[in-house]
Structure 1
Amino acid sequence: MVASTIPWETVQQTFRRIWGYDDFRPPQAEIIRGLLDQRDTLVILPTGGGKSLCFQLPALLQSGVTLVLSPLVALMENQVQELREHQLPAATLHSELSPHQRRQVLRALEANRLRLLYLSPETLLSPPVWQRLRQPSVIINGLILDEAHCLVQWGDSFRPVYRRLGAVRPALLAQRPPGTRLPIAAFTATADPTVQRTLIEVLRLQQPHQVRLNPYRSNLHLATRIVWSPRQRRQTMQRFIQQRSGQAGLVYVRSRQDSEDLAAWLMIQGQTAAAYHAGLSSGDRRRIEMAWSQNQVQTVVCTSAFGMGVNKPDTRWVLHYQAPSSLTEYVQEVGRAGRDGRPAEALTLMSEPTGWLDPMDQQRWRFFTTQTQALRREAQHIARQIPAVGSVAQVQQQFKQGAIALAWLHGQGRLTWSDPFHYRLLPGSNSTATLGSVVSAMQDYLSSRRCRWQHLLEQFGFGHEARQLGTCGHCDRCQRS
Structure 2
Amino acid sequence: MAEISVESTSNDSEDSSDVTNSLYAEERLSTCKTEDEWLHDLLVRRTLKPSIRDFQLEHGLELVRGHDVYLVIAPGKGKTLVSLAPLLAAQELGQSGVAIIIEPSKFLTEQQSRVFETMGIRSLAINQDTLRAAYAAGRQDLFDEFEAIALAGREVLAVFLTPWMLASPRIYKLLGNPMFKRALRWLFVDEAHLVNEEDSVWRTPYGDIKLMRSRLYSSTVHLAMTGTSSPSDDKAISANLGFAKAKHARYSIDTPHIKYITRFLQHSFSGSTFYDLSFLIPPDMKCQDDILPTLIFCEQIELGYRVMKFLDTLIPSNIPNRHRLILPCNSLWGSEHRQRFKLGLESGAVRIGVCTDTCTLGVDITNIRRVVLLNQYKSFTQIKQELCRAGRDGAPALAYTLAPAWLEKKAVTEQTSKKDSEEASRRALLPSVVVDWYNSAALQKCPRIVDLDHNHEPFALHDQCCSVHFPEPETTADLSANAKWIERLAPKSSSSSRVPVSDRTCPPLEKPMKEAVVRIITRWRTNTWWSFASADSMPAEWFLNATAMSRLAEKAHICTSYDRFVIVLGPWRYLNDHGQALFEVMTQILTTFKEIFDTRKEMERAAEEAEAQQEASPVVETPSMSEPAAIHRVVLRLPRQLPKSDGGNQHCSPPARYNTQQQAKG
TM-score computed with the length of structure 1 as normaliser? 0.75
- Does 1:61 find its partner at 2:106? no
Q: 2-side partners of 1:131 and 1:41: how far apart?
A: 28
Which residue number corresponds to residue 160 of structure 1? 204
Deviations 1:56-83 (A, max 9, x none): 1212323321210111111111222233
**Residue 279 (structure 1) shift:** 1.7
Alpha-carbon spacing, 1:279–1:194, altered in 2? closer, same or farther (3 Å)? farther
| Corresponding residue number in structure 2 for 1:181 | 219
Q: Given the alignment, which residue of 130, 142, 145 partners 2:186?
A: 142
Residue type of the alignment partner of 2:174:
R
Counterpart of 1:313 (choices 344, 363, 366) is 366
CA offsets per residue over residues 388-435 of structure 1, 9 Å max, x none?
xxxxxxxxxxxxxxxxxxxxxxxxxxxxxxxxxxxxxxxxxxxxxxxx
Distance 1:184 1:155 in 2: 26
Does 2:163 correspond to 1:121?
yes
SS in 2 for 1:443: helix
Q: Superposition pairs for residues 271-282 of structure 1, below 5 Å? A: 272-282=325-335
User: What letter corresponds to residue 60 of structure 2 in structure 1?
Assistant: I
2:465 maps to a residue whose letter is: H
Q: CA deviation at 1:300?
A: 0.5
Residue 201 of structure 1 and its aligned partner are, at CA, apart by: 0.9
Indicate the percent of aligned positions where both proteins have the same amino acid. Answer: 21
Aligned partners of 2:330 and 2:358 also within 8 Å: yes
Greater displacement, 291-300 / 156-165: 156-165
Q: How far apart in 2 are the matches of 1:249 and 1:331?
A: 16
Distance 1:227 1:246, change over 3 A: closer
Q: 1:219, CA displacement in angstroms?
A: 2.3
Is 1:456 aligned to 2:494, yes or no? no
2:247 alignment partner in structure 1: 209
1:334-345 matches, within 5 Å, as: 334-345=387-398
Aligned with residue 215 of structure 2, among 165, 168, 171: 171
Question: 1:95, CA displacement in angstroms?
Answer: 1.7
Task: Specify which of 389, 401, 404 is matched with residue 351 of structure 1.
Answer: 404
Q: Which residue of the other structure, out of 148, 153, 156, is the alignment partner of 1:107?
A: 148
- The equivalent of 1:48 in structure 2 is 76
Q: Supply the AA of the counterpart residue of 2:231.
A: P
Please, which of 108, 121, 127 is the counterpart of residue 94 of structure 1? 127
Deviation at 1:256, TM superposition (A): 1.0
Offset from partner CA, 1:285-330 (integer Å, 9 cap, x none):
2221211111111111111211544333332111111123222111
SS at match of 1:242: coil
Structure number with the higher strand fraction is 1
The aligned runs of 1:238-317 (5 Å cut-off) are 238-242=278-282, 245-270=290-315, 272-317=325-370
- Is contact 2:195-2:202 (8 Å) kept? no
Q: Give the structure with higher Rg (CA).
A: 2
Structure 1 or 2: more helix by fraction: 2
Q: Which amino acid aligns with 1:142?
A: W
- Counterpart Cα distance in 1 of 2:258 and 2:407: 29
Q: Structure with the greater relative contact order (CA < 8 A, sep ≥ 6): 1 or 2? A: 1
Q: Give the corresponding residue for 1:425.
A: none
**Could you tell me how far 1:51 is from its partner in structure 2?**
0.9
Amino acid in the other structure paired with 1:123:
M
Q: Deviations over 1:329-369 (max 9, x none)?
A: 1111111212333322111112223789xx9xx99x96xx9
Give the TM-score of the pair, scaled to structure 2.
Answer: 0.55
Question: Structure 2: 5+ residue runs without aligned partners?
Answer: 1-8, 11-21, 30-34, 91-95, 284-288, 316-321, 409-414, 473-666
Q: Number of residues paired by the alignment? A: 398
Of 189, 196, 218, the residue aligned with 2:234 is 196
* Counterpart residue identity of residue 442, structure 1: V
Give the secondary-structure state (helix, strand or coil) at the position aligned to 1:105. Answer: helix
Aligned to 2:392, the other structure's residue is in SS state coil
CA distance in 1, matches of 2:407, 2:122: 56
The reply to whether residue 444 of structure 1 matches residue 485 of structure 2 is no
**Of 34, 39, 54, which aligns to 2:67?**
39
- Against the structure 1 CA distance between its residues 154 and 51, is the aligned structure 2 distance closer, same or farther, given a 3 Å change threshold? farther
Gaps in structure 1 of 5+ consecutive residues: 174-179, 370-435
Distance in 2, matches of 1:228 and 1:150, equals 32
Is the contact between residue 141 and residue 181 of structure 1 (CA under 8 Å) also seen in structure 2?
yes
1:251–1:301: 8 Å Cα contact kept in structure 2?
A: yes
Q: What is the root-mean-square deviation of aligned Cα atoms in Å?
A: 2.9
Aligned twin of 2:465: 474
Structure-2 change in CA distance of 1:187 and 1:334 (3 Å) = same
Partner residue of 2:644? none
CA contact (8 A) 2:149 2:157 kept: no
